[in-house]
């Protein structure tokens, strides 16, 4: 919160140095900070959703790979058991 107060004060001082009345400078600074906060929240939401979708895609790919490996291992074990049964006779 202190960061935003410092930013608001800094923006207000810059605007008053540019010959803008103080109350107008404060209103402009407030609008800038509010809009930049909304933009960053939207940006964060968009990026967060992108990261989630990429992560979900990777998890699905890993699930498919694991399933292939499990089926292969089960097939190899079954083959080994069948061969050992026939060789033991």
- Predicted confidence band at 12 (pLDDT cuts at 50, 70, 90)? confident
Q: What is the model's pLDDT at position 13?
A: 82
Q: What is the model's pLDDT at position 1?
A: 46
* pTM more than 0.85: no
Mean pLDDT value across residues 7-31:
80
Nearest CA to 8 out of 29, 37, 35, 31 is that of 29
- Predicted confidence band at 70 (pLDDT cuts at 50, 70, 90)? very high
Mean pLDDT value across residues 62-74:
95
Q: What is the DSSP letter of 6?
A: H
Mean pLDDT value across residues 11-17:
81
Find the distance separating the first CA and the last CA of the chain, reported in whole Å.
81
């Amino acid at each position: 919160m202190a960061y935003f107060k410092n930013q608001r004060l800094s923006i207000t001082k810059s605007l008053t140095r540019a010959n803008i009345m103080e109350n107008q400078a404060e209103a402009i600074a407030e609008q800038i900070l509010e809009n930049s906060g909304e933009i960053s929240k939207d940006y964060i939401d968009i990026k967060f959703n992108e990261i989630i979708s990429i992560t979900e895609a990777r998890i699905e790919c890993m699930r498919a790979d694991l399933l292939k490996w499990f089926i292969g291992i089960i097939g190899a074990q079954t083959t080994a058991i069948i061969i050992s049964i026939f060789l033991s006779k």
